[in-house]
Amino acid sequence: MSQKVLITGGCGFIGRYVTQELLASGYQVRILDALIDQVHGDGSVAVPDGVEFIEGNVCDRQTVDAALAGVDAVLHLAAEVGVGQSMYEIARYVGGNDLGTAVLLEAMIGGPVRRIVVASSMSVYGEGLYRTADGTRLGQVRRKAARIKAGQWEAQGPNGEALTPAPTDEEKPVDLASIYALTKYVQERAVLIWGEAYGVDAVALRLFNVFGPGQALSNPYTGVLANFASRIANGQSPMIFEDGQQRRDFVHVRDVARAFRLALEKQSAAGHVINVGSGQSYSVAEVASLLAEAMGAPELQPDIMNKARSGDIRNCFADISKARELLGFEPEHRLESTLGELAEWVRVTGAIDRGAEMKRQLEQRGLVS
């Protein structure tokens, strides 16, 4: 009999692709999802044939008990997502992410589940890894608020020296710069601590910037590419904080789904935190321009705000050596070759642009400077 897997948040953007990946590999799948309005809009969702679906909140113990009945493994993706929003809806993020994980873990005590994989985030790193001119590794770099306020965006070394951003590996110490990052770190540590205590295989995947068809285009707190696409689809220039030269790693959702399946299957992954990214770095302005071109609107060049959001970092992109070693993971869907697919999906789907509303919410609370 095939293994039965519970996917919390399985109706979300990443969860839907993970569900498809597992079904294609012969797994039985059950989904637990609260279908929150910010992500799902009117709440309508198409669940694939053969998938069990339970609508409910991971913070509700009775619902979680029902969802866990008879499952062999758990992929825990349910979470509130959004760096900016987490800075003012603090109780919502701590409750949904950390209390929800606690309820899930308590419910699993003494049960048949033999493996749990939790979705963590690159946001736990804060600034990514840097090197000095002589190659010295710096894992704890923070930008000074006064420099940011003056529009001096680049991070500096302890003596004011120039730094070069480098691929960030899992050995870099965490540096939590937002409530969202804090909640994701609590999630991953709770799962790994619990797994070790109860003899259950536990894996945490630190996801970098996930993109692809199916993102919630009308949710301004979702991924940056979805935000850009919503703006462009509505004839607006992509809105970029700072100067647009900050660098990120964009990983396709199909690659992320495969990483979850591999984390479920590979014994070598147990007990580890593993980066899941593309291993490539792109400036945010470059990505915005590439997307505008793919969407047939090259004239919509980025609107550079020259303002910073509280909790934002300058550079962070993935070293995926550990994913290659422990999971046999190799990205297959590069940003440059898949933006056409994303553009076509946006054209067919349509999007409500709420980027200005998001900016206003942050400004009203003094979170933009």
Among 222, 322, 212, 321, CA closest to 257: 212
List Cβ neighbours of 135 (8 Å cut-off, separation of 6 or more).
none
DSSP 352: -
Query: CA 305, CA 249: separation in Å to the nearest integer?
Result: 21
- 216, 330, 175, 311 alpha-carbon torsion, rounded to 10°: -30
Among 27, 125, 130, 180, the active-site one is 180
Active site residue 130: no
- Alpha helices, DSSP H, located in the chain: 13-24, 37-40, 61-68, 83-86, 90-93, 100-108, 145-149, 179-198, 224-233, 253-265, 284-294, 321-327, 335-349, 355-364
DSSP 277: S
DSSP 328: -
Output b/e per residue, 288-326; b: 16+ Cβ within 10 A.
bbbbbbbbebeebebebeebbbbbbbbbbbbbbebbeeb
CB–CB of 114/74 below 8 Å? no
Q: Kindly list the catalytic residues.
A: 180
